[in-house]
Amino acid sequence: MSSATSDNEFVTPTGVLWDDPEAGKTWLVSIVGVTILAALVMAISVIYFRTEQAEVDAKVIEPEYLALKDLKASQLSLLAGSGTYSTEVGGQKVERRRIPVAEAIRMMAGNPALAVPPAGSRAGVAPAADGATPTTPTAASAVPN
């Protein structure tokens, strides 16, 4: 049998049973627990998504292809170095000299005659013979008088 005392205690044959805890302590423990749980969930989410993004960057966006890296290194070494090579032009084997890009740019800047005329320029085209008719209409002939 149990009996209640003035302090909200229940006295039983096995000992004293306390009534519900005070509301202030319950709220404090609840708020602290929810705050810790929310912080833990946010921390785990941040760790997960940062790790996921790092894996996507490493495996999808910027994969490192060793064969491509080696090819690019060999091509850059060819551009930076000089040497000779042979090629076939018009059925004849021709020896050519390869020079570094920086030297080629310096040569082009020093001698403008080496430059190739821009596409569409009429500098290298021979003038038409007298009495020849153009094959394409000009803008002047297309405008009515």
pLDDT at position 32, please?
A: 97
Which residue matches tokens 């002047």? 140
Ordered alpha helix ranges (H), 90-145: 101-110, 139-142
As given in the structure block, the two tokens for residue 72 are 């690019």
As given in the structure block, the two tokens for residue 137 are 């209409």
* 114: helix, strand or coil: helix
Per-residue three-class SS string for 39-79: HHHHHHHHHHHHHHHHHHHHHHHCCCCHHHHHHHHHHHHHH
pLDDT digits (tens, 9 = 90+) for 111-137: 878 777 777 776 555 555 555 455 544
What does the domain layout of the chain look like in residue ranges? Answer: 7-61, 65-114
**For residues 4 and 10, is the Cβ–Cβ distance under 8 A?**
yes
The strand pairing partners of 87, in sequence order, are 94
User: The whole model's pTM is what?
Assistant: 0.34
Q: Which of 2-11, 100-109, 113-122, 136-145 has the highest mean pLDDT?
A: 100-109
Its sign, for the CA torsion 18, 24, 28, 31, is: positive
pLDDT digits (tens, 9 = 90+) for 23-66: 888 899 999 999 999 999 999 999 999 999 999 888 887 777 88
